Amino acid sequence: MKTLLEAIALVFLVMYLFLQNFRATLIPTIAVPVVLMGTFAVLYACGYSINTLTMFAVVLAIGLLVDDAIVVVENVERIMSEEGLSPREATRKSMGQIQGALIGIAMVLSAVFVPMAFFGGTTGAIYRQFSITIVSAMVLSVLVAMILTPALCATLLKPVHKGETHGQRGFFGWFNRTFNRNASRYETAVGKILHRSLRWIMIYVLLLGGMVFLFLHLPTSFLPLEDRGMFTTSVQLPSGSTQQQTLKVVQQAEDYFLNNEKQNVESVFATIGSGPGGNGQNVARMFVRLKDWDERDPTTGSSFAIIERATKAFNKIKEARVFASSPPAISGLGSSAGFDMELEDHAGNGHEALMAARDTLLELAGKNNQLTRVRHNGLDDSPQLQVDIDQRKAQALGVSIDDINDTLQTAWGSSYVNDFMDRGRVKKVYVQAAAPYRMLPDDINLWYVRNSSGTMVPFSAFATSRWETGSPRLERYNGYSAVEIVGEAAPGVSTGTAMTIMEELAQQLPNGFGLEWTAMSYQERLSGAQAPALYAFRCWWCSCAWRRCMKAGRCRSR
């Protein structure tokens, strides 16, 4: 609210400086609350609330929505001064002259912001609120300028004598003389440009070509990374590592932050058993909270500098992979900053081939100096106990597959039974094998399954077990078997360039493998693909507005 009132006050002062008439300044000022209330009503109808994005758009719109009312007031004052008409007659004549121009102004301003509402994805959700706020304010300001402002002009403005102009004494006199001198210089410069139009058209074409060149060659990025006062560190040990080994590595990382970075780090919080790539006793995740920005050195105390130093230090830990990374620019989109992709098995080559393609891609990325911290965001293959059921034997013994699966699930995983009330609280009942009977792989032979005749049949009669290596979590993305790969661009390299490099590296993989972007990277690619089409739409809209203005000008001349 404070910023809103400050914006209204500044707009009022600027208008009074140029109009130099309190009554004339009051008319556009009255339009501000009327348009703002209408804008808030439009936001409510569209399902949006008053938030940072919409309030930023409202503050920007305050300086734009008074333009239409100012055009009406200034034209009315001009007609009264030049022709000596009364405010009512001058207002009637003024609206006949500038009605088409007001509509053209609204169309031109809308052409800048309307295409933003057509962005898809997260980018569209951000831009759409901003666009709807600005455009609705512009449209309502035109309606107010065509309905309310003429009535106020005819009522509030005082008649002036023919030929009367603004004061020529005092501060306003000095301001008017200075402004008129600069306006004359500007008119002279424009006249010289018009006499040498071909030369300036060539300069314009060169500028246009330079803009296209820079648009095609400048690095791209979705959102700039910021020092958010914290970052995360992921820890992953080889498969089969114990919790004690994981805790030892976590303590090493904690000691580094609390000792080597004690001038920058406030605290460290670690969770063992869960990480961004999955759960297991060989993974952990640490949340490093930094001190206030004023207490850190701007160059060496930024989160990016701390992460860079931590990465070099953690490379010396051979028994684990420890990565420090910034949080994503938008919370909830991805687990870290940088790029996020899914390597997919389109041809159904199998898990082993997918893991080989993953390792090849990571090796290629590691050799590229424009990429850093490229890694698999998941758990490595680990030993698993495979239970093979001989369905023919089970069928001969009268044991159903459903009963076998239910027994395995209940004994080793647990099964939900029901709820019961205990001292006013609802508690759940689960059934599971006692710990001594599910500790070893051979304990499966201690279990029996009831067959169709009511006889208990041991698992050893129809099942065998063996050890194999497999993924602890089967990942699929858009229907394909996939593994998630994350990474970051090297310092001085944009995320758009890093994503292009990863796409080129993925083309070197065997046939049948491809990649798709996800999380923040998907939004970046989506917004980048939409921008040219929306820019073309904006140009078409501007041309329509220009034709409308030209048509209105021809009508006035006739």
Helices (H) and strands (E) in the chain, counts: 14, 15
Q: Which domains does the chain have, with CATH numbers?
A: 2-166+532-557 (1.20.1640.10), 229-335 (3.30.70.1430), 382-469 (3.30.2090.10)
pLDDT > 90? residue 278:
no
Averaged pLDDT of the chain:
84
Read off the pLDDT of residues 300-314 as tens digits, 9 standing for 90 and up. Answer: 888 889 998 998 999
Mean pLDDT of 132-158: 90
pLDDT > 90? residue 165:
no
What distance in Å separates the CA atoms of residue 223 and residue 123, rounded to the nearest whole number? Answer: 10
Q: Which of 240, 481, 221, 497 is nearest to 349 (CA)?
A: 481
More reliable by pLDDT, 162 or 421: 421
CA angle, 465 as apex, 463 and 466 as ends, to 5°? 150
Read off the pLDDT of residues 536-550 as tens digits, 9 standing for 90 and up. Answer: 776 776 676 666 656
Query: What is the per-residue DSSP string for 292-350?
Result: PGGGS-TTTSSHHHHHHHHHHHHTT-TTSEEEEEPPPSSTTS-SSSSEEEEEEETT---
Q: Is 289 helix (H, G, I), strand (E, B) or coil?
A: strand
Burial tier of 285 (Cβ tally within 10 Å: 0-12, 13-18, 19+): buried
Report the pLDDT value the prediction gives residue 166, as an integer from 0 to 100.
Answer: 59
| Contact (CB, 8 A) for 281 and 230 | no
Mean pLDDT of 265-272: 92
More reliable by pLDDT, 10 or 505: 505
Q: Which of 27-31, 376-380, 459-463 has the highest mean pLDDT?
A: 459-463
Q: How confident is the model at residue 361 (pLDDT cuts 50, 70, 90)?
A: very high
Report the pLDDT value the prediction gives residue 557, as an integer from 0 to 100.
Answer: 40
Report the pLDDT value the prediction gives residue 64, as an integer from 0 to 100.
Answer: 80
Read off the pLDDT of residues 188-232 as tens digits, 9 standing for 90 and up. Answer: 988 888 888 888 889 989 998 998 888 777 766 666 667 888 999
pTM higher than the cut 0.85: no
Mean pLDDT of 429-446: 90
Report the pLDDT value the prediction gives residue 313, as an integer from 0 to 100.
Answer: 92
Q: Give the DSSP H/E element, type plus range, for residue 86.
A: none
Mean pLDDT of 233-256: 91
Q: What is the largest CA-CA distance in the chain?
A: 115
Q: Which of 148, 135, 133, 70 is nearest to 108 (CA)?
A: 135
What distance in Å separates the CA atoms of residue 391 and residue 400, rounded to the nearest whole number? Answer: 9
Report the pLDDT value the prediction gives residue 210, as an integer from 0 to 100.
Answer: 92
pLDDT > 50? residue 555:
no
Alpha carbon 131 to its chain centroid, in Å, reads: 16
Q: Which of 508, 499, 502 is nearest to 528 (CA)?
A: 499
Read off the pLDDT of residues 332-355 as tens digits, 9 standing for 90 and up. Answer: 555 566 788 999 999 989 888 999
Task: Using alpha carbons, list the distances in angstroms from residue 75 to 70, 87, 103, 107, 155.
Answer: 8, 11, 16, 20, 16
Place of tokens 């019961």: 420
| Contact (CB, 8 A) for 175 and 94 | no
Report the pLDDT value the prediction gives residue 379, as an integer from 0 to 100.
Answer: 82
Q: How confident is the model at residue 470 (pLDDT cuts 50, 70, 90)?
A: confident
Report the pLDDT value the prediction gives residue 558, as an integer from 0 to 100.
Answer: 38
What distance in Å separates the CA atoms of residue 484 and residue 344, rounded to the nearest whole number? Answer: 9
Read off the pLDDT of residues 91-131 as tens digits, 9 standing for 90 and up. Answer: 999 888 888 888 877 777 777 788 777 777 666 777 888 88
Report the pLDDT value the prediction gives residue 547, as an integer from 0 to 100.
Answer: 66
pLDDT > 80? residue 282:
yes
pLDDT > 90? residue 457:
yes
Report the pLDDT value the prediction gives residue 194, as an integer from 0 to 100.
Answer: 84
Q: Is 434 helix (H, G, I), strand (E, B) or coil?
A: coil
